[in-house]
């Protein structure tokens, strides 16, 4: 009950602060422009338009959704402490884990709403312009939206963990930007570099799998680019899809762990905080 009250207030605040509006418009705008510009190189012959959109949108999601998630979450605990609102909230009959979980559900709802509506606009636009959309593509698209929300959840949880550990908001923002750069940009480049240098001598397939699972954005990428046969052909990942032993359940579990573990640690750190 307390969790839901706090979640409802977070959503209310996010609507009031126009976070919901901004995130939805941003995602919808990018989804729509990718839908229409994205079909230019492939043309309209023999290619299912929605599959192309899935490939380009999921690549975009990897950059954008973690950034939005970290933006709304890095401030959740340390920011309320600095503004002094946490002091009052914790004098009420609520446990600290309830505060954290309530915020999480609220932020997840905001992110989920923005993603579903924003990306849904792309499907709507394709349908409206008369493209054929078969059920396979639709399923793959639904999976893409769902896993995007899950990716967002993981980064919201990571943001909370940072927020629960640091002393001030500036530090939280700095660390979150660093984490974003590391997980979204640097990790893959470094991995690629290492693989190229190693030429398969010491990095076995299982090590590579472990390395891919230890970054939530890679788990997300694999779900969407290799999970569905017709999508993976366009993604140029068909080869990898056949060689990897990482199945969708394994990848989803990895993303779920990336959500629950930081969330649990954040709750632990928060419960020990003195304010």
Given the rule CB under 8 A, which residues bind another protein? Answer: 2, 5, 9, 12-13, 16-17, 83-85, 87-88, 90-96, 271, 274-275
Nearest approach, Cβ of residue 214 and another protein (Å): 33
Nearest approach, Cβ of residue 259 and another protein (Å): 24
DSSP string, 14-33: HHHTTHHHHHHHHHHHHHHH
Nearest approach, Cβ of residue 17 and another protein (Å): 5
Nearest approach, Cβ of residue 24 and another protein (Å): 18
Q: Quick one: 43 or 93, whose CB is closer to another protein?
A: 93
Residues 91 and 96: their CA atoms lie apart, in Å, by 10
Residue environment code for 196-230, b if the CB has 16+ CB neighbours within 10 A, otherwise e: eeeeeeeeeeeebbebbbebbbbbbbbbbbbbbeb
Of how many residues is the chain composed?
275
Q: Quick one: 96 or 221, whose CB is closer to another protein?
A: 96
Q: Quick one: 47 or 109, whose CB is closer to another protein?
A: 109
Residues 47 and 234: their CA atoms lie apart, in Å, by 9
Q: Quick one: 15 or 139, whose CB is closer to another protein?
A: 15
Nearest approach, Cβ of residue 82 and another protein (Å): 10
Q: Quick one: 86 or 175, whose CB is closer to another protein?
A: 86
Question: Residue 181's Cα: distance from chain center in Å?
Answer: 14
């Amino acid at each position: 009950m307390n969790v839901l009250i706090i979640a409802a207030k977070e959503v209310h605040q996010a609507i009031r602060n126009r976070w919901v509006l901004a995130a939805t418009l941003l995602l919808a705008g990018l989804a729509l422009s990718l839908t229409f510009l994205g079909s230019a190189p492939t043309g309209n012959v023999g290619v299912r338009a929605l599959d192309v959109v899935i490939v380009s949108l999921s690549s975009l999601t990897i950059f954008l959704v973690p950034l939005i998630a970290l933006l709304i979450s890095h401030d959740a605990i340390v920011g309320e402490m600095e503004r002094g609102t946490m002091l009052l909230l914790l004098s009420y009959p609520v446990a600290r884990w309830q505060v954290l979980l309530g915020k999480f559900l609220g932020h997840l709802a905001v992110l989920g709403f923005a993603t579903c509506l924003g990306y849904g606009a792309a499907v709507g636009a394709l349908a409206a312009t008369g493209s054929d959309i078969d059920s396979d593509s639709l399923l793959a698209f639904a999976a893409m939206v769902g896993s995007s929300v899950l990716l967002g959840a993981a980064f919201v949880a990571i943001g909370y963990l940072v927020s629960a550990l640091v002393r001030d908001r500036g530090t939280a923002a700095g660390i979150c930007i660093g984490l974003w750069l590391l997980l979204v940009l640097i990790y893959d480049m470094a991995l690629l570099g290492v693989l190229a240098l190693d030429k398969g001598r010491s990095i076995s397939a299982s090590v590579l799998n472990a390395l891919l699972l230890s970054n939530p954005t890679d788990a997300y990428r694999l779900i969407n680019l290799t999970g569905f046969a017709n999508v993976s052909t366009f993604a140029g990942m068909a080869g990898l899809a056949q060689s990897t032993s990482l199945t969708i359940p394994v990848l989803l579990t990895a993303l779920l762990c990336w959500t629950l573990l930081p969330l649990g640690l954040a709750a632990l750190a928060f419960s020990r905080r003195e304010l």
